[in-house]
């Protein structure tokens, strides 16, 4: 059984609300996140903190081994972990409809969604070698209480991941791979609901000369993303967005103080599309000037500092440069990148944080997205087994390319989200939670209505949605 209270998990989750808010349309606590593509897109963004190691835990091998062995079912060198989540969600606007637009009522309804998730992890730790195999499956069922058509939103998602770490004195080798299927309510960039499948694999080697104060990591990741084949009023198949990604990177981190480090990130993202033709309308004619299916090369270089200023204050500050070259597209784009995160934590009492970011990412439509984000969070333990938290997030996304037949102007999205949570852990192996997530998307992006007196009339793609969730989690 678990030996630590789940309350600590709630406090940690609340402290990262700010960083979640910095990834456009990626919201906490929802089984159907609205990220645009896949983990590949998240890796591209400068807001990802996975590039930066915790300077207080430079020995990754020891840290992994302690996590593998302290909980779960033990059979010799193997450790098994099992988690079951059951939740009911009252969802306002599950279809992400805009309501009335162009004289047509794109109906906004509410529905009940039941989510059941089962996850398992198998870990093997022996001397200098660690291996984990993790997988899970989730089923989201819409009941269609007010509109039977919302039952069509029911979907099964899943993931599987394999990781191996071999640590020698001064050097660590890692290999990893994974699969994920997501069915978000609506992909922000593409403006519609689509199933997304992602496969990625990679390897890395980390050198720790001088006892670990200096860390040099070279990494290469290969992945591909496919979309469910769906025809829309604008195009005859969404398979045109399928793409392959290569991401070589070099990370250097120097811990010049016991709890503070300088870091450098250099990364090249190469995205190639399986089909580089222009978009095709449903009637078979090409979309003029379509900015998709264009191979892209996105380079990032960033330098910063991360660590603890005091026992309670942690900060990360970084700045750098982004440049992207897209074949057959609108030319080269470039600009600065920046990130700032500040957290104040009083252990076992409360924590608060703020995060800001600016960067850009390659996207399957409109070529490139510049993103600015800000998020704040606060959480507190009221009693030993009860905690509360809240977070606010805002992002402003600008898209570089113009697609005349789809959208003639420069697209701009403003998204807002507000999350609140209450967590209670009556026993070490069970936790109860109530979460609420309010989402508002304001955008100038419009799509053809496809219905009504003028099917070519444009409708808004902005929306207001809310998800109220009660969840039970059991962990062994």
Q: Where are the domains of the chain?
A: 7-475
pLDDT at 288 over 50: no
Segment 301-306 mean pLDDT? 95
- φ, ψ for residue 65 (rounded to 5)? -65, -40
Bigger pLDDT: 33 vs 471 = 471
Nearest to 413 by CA among 446, 441, 375: 441
Q: How far is CA 1 from the centre of its chain?
A: 30
- Beta carbons within 8 Å of 285's beta carbon, 6+ residues apart: none
pLDDT at 34 over 70: no
3-state secondary structure of 64: helix
- Beta carbons within 8 Å of 201's beta carbon, 6+ residues apart: 175, 176, 177, 178, 221, 222, 223
Euclidean distance between CA atoms 274 and 82, whole angstroms: 38
Q: Length of the chain, please?
A: 476
The pLDDT tens digits of the residues spanning 90-145 come to: 999 998 888 766 566 678 899 999 999 999 999 998 888 999 999 999 999 999 99
Return the number of other C-beta atoms located less than 10 Å from residue 380's C-beta: 16
pLDDT band at 410 (very low <50, low <70, confident <90, very high): confident
Bigger pLDDT: 169 vs 166 = 166
pLDDT at 38 over 90: no
The pLDDT tens digits of the residues spanning 237-267 come to: 667 778 899 999 999 999 998 889 999 999 9
pLDDT band at 14 (very low <50, low <70, confident <90, very high): very low
The pLDDT tens digits of the residues spanning 65-78 come to: 444 445 688 888 88
pLDDT at 270 over 70: yes
Segment 223-233 mean pLDDT? 76
Q: What is the CATH number of domain 7-475?
A: 2.40.160
pLDDT at 452: 56
């Amino acid at each position: 059984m678990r030996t630590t209270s789940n309350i600590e998990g709630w406090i940690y989750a609340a402290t990262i609300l700010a960083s979640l808010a910095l990834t456009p349309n990626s919201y906490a606590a929802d089984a159907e996140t609205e990220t645009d593509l896949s983990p590949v897109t998240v890796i591209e963004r400068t807001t990802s903190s996975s590039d930066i190691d915790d300077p207080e835990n430079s020995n990754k091998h020891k840290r992994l081994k302690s996590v593998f062995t302290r909980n779960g079912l033990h059979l010799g060198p193997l450790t098994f972990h099992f988690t079951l989540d059951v939740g009911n969600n009252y969802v306002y606007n599950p279809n992400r409809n805009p309501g009335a637009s162009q004289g047509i009522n794109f109906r906004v309804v509410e529905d009940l969604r039941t989510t059941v998730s089962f996850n398992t992890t198998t870990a093997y730790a022996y001397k200098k070698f660690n291996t984990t195999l993790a997988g899970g499956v989730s089923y989201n069922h819409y009941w269609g209480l007010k509109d039977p058509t919302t039952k069509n939103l029911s979907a099964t998602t899943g993931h599987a991941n394999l990781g191996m770490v071999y640590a020698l004195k001064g050097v660590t080798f890692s290999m990893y791979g994974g699969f994920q299927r997501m069915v978000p309510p609506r992909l922000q960039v593409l403006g519609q609901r689509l199933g997304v499948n992602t496969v990625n694999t990679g390897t890395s080697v980390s050198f720790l000369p001088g006892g670990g104060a200096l860390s040099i990591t070279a990494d290469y990741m290969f992945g591909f993303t496919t979309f469910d084949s769906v025809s829309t009023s604008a195009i005859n198949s969404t398979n045109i967005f399928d793409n392959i990604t290569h991401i070589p990177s070099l990370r250097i981190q120097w811990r010049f103080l016991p709890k503070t480090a300088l870091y450098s990130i250099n990364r090249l993202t190469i995205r190639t599309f399986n089909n580089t033709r222009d978009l095709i309308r449903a009637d078979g004619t090409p979309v003029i000037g379509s900015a998709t299916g264009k191979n892209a090369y996105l380079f990032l270089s960033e330098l910063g500092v991360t660590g603890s200023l005091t026992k309670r204050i942690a900060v990360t500050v970084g700045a750098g440069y982004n440049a992207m070259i897209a074949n057959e597209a609108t030319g080269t784009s470039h600009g600065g990148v920046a990130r700032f995160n500040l957290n104040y934590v009083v252990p076992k009492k409360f924590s608060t944080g703020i995060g800001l970011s600016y960067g850009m990412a390659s996207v399957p439509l409109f070529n490139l997205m510049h993103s600015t984000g800000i998020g704040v969070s606060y959480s507190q333990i009221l009693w030993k087994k009860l905690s509360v938290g809240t977070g606010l997030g805002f992002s402003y996304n600008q898209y570089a390319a113009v697609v005349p037949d789809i959208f003639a102007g420069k697209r701009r999205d403003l998204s807002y989200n507000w999350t609140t949570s209450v967590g209670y852990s009556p026993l070490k192996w069970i936790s109860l939670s109530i979460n609420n997530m309010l989402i508002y998307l304001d955008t100038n992006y419009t799509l053809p209505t496809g219905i009504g007196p003028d099917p070519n009339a444009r409708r808004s793609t902005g929306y207001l949605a809310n998800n109220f969730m009660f969840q039970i989690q059991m962990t062994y």
